[in-house]
């Protein structure tokens, strides 16, 4: 049996080998440094691409409406709050204002930035209730597991607090979410059209004790008031 011959090196390989052999020590050092630089650049690009895929996945799973994904944080107090969360802070934020003043736009812009560093969720109290109730039908997760998803995500935005009719179950669920998130140091954003007494009256539809406890927790939040002419009126004009 004839012994197998070794494969013949390619001409490109031989040429590269000759170039390396002809290099001075200084040239060889520069060549190795350039190869290391190129390898590091490829690794950085791969890490960046993986991070971008992760962030896109977080945003797609967040429930943030498509119309609210392109905004930028504009209010200085919100900017300061977002920066503090990105630095490890865990405070809560409530954005108040009348219809059309940009509360949801500003809140979603904050959420989009935070998606760079953590999981985020957009919800309204009604949508949380529907998700929990739907778990009884689709059986993909238990009601407790669905609720836990809102309590444990990196940052939760509850939009239009007090807008939908409140009952005892709604306020109990809201209070549970708020208490769990505060207790575990999870940042949360709330938006609402209502100020103190008016919000309490809405929440008290689900029981005064729950309303009192919820307002006590909202008083712990960083508070931002959006004012000015309705953005919706400007668009119509």
Report DSSP state, residue 34: H
Decide if pLDDT at 22 tops 90: no
Considering only CA atoms, which of 132, 130, 124 is closest in space to residue 192?
124
In whole angstroms, give the CA distance from residue 160 to residue 149: 20
Report DSSP state, residue 178: H
Q: What is the pLDDT of residues 155-213, one digit of tens each?
A: 999 999 998 889 999 999 999 999 999 999 999 999 999 988 999 999 999 999 999 99
Residues 6+ apart with CB under 8 A from 77: 222, 224
Residues 6+ apart with CB under 8 A from 112: 59, 64, 69, 71, 120
Reported pTM? 0.78
150, 123 in Cβ contact below 8 A?
yes
Residue 223 DSSP SS3: strand
Decide if pLDDT at 24 tops 80: no
pLDDT score for 61: 94
* Angle subtended at Cα 142 by Cα 138 and Cα 147, rounded to the nearest 5 degrees: 110
Compute, in degrees rounded to 10, the torsion defined by CA atoms 144, 149, 154, 157. Answer: -100
Average pLDDT taken over every residue of the chain: 87
Considering only CA atoms, which of 169, 172, 131, 170 is closest in space to residue 150?
131
Q: What is the pLDDT of residues 78-127, one digit of tens each?
A: 999 999 999 998 889 999 999 989 999 999 999 999 999 999 999 999 99
Burial 122-137 (b: 16+ CB within 10 A, else e): bbbbebbbebbeebee
């Amino acid at each position: 049996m004839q012994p197998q011959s070794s494969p013949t090196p390619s001409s490109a390989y031989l040429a590269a080998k000759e170039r390396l052999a002809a290099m001075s020590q200084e040239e060889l050092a520069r060549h190795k440094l350039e190869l290391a630089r190129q390898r590091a650049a490829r690794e950085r690009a791969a890490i960046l691409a993986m991070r971008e895929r992760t962030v896109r996945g977080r945003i797609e799973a967040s429930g943030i409406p498509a119309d609210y994904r392109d905004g930028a944080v504009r209010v200085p107090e919100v900017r300061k709050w977002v920066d503090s969360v990105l630095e490890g802070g865990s405070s809560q934020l409530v954005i108040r204002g009348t219809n059309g003043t940009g509360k949801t736009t500003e809140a979603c812009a904050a959420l989009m930035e935070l998606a760079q560093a953590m999981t985020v969720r957009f919800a309204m109290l009604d949508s949380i209730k529907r998700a929990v109730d739907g778990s009884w039908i689709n059986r993909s997760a238990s009601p407790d597991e669905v609720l836990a998803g809102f309590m444990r995500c990196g940052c939760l935005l509850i939009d239009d607090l007090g807008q939908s009719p409140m009952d005892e179950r709604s306020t109990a669920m809201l209070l549970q979410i708020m208490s769990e998130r505060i207790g575990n140091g999870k940042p949360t954003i709330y938006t609402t059209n209502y100020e103190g007494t008016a919000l309490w009256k809405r929440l008290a539809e689900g029981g005064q004790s729950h309303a009192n406890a919820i307002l006590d927790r909202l008083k712990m939040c960083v508070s931002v008031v959006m004012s000015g002419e309705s953005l919706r009126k400007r668009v119509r004009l």
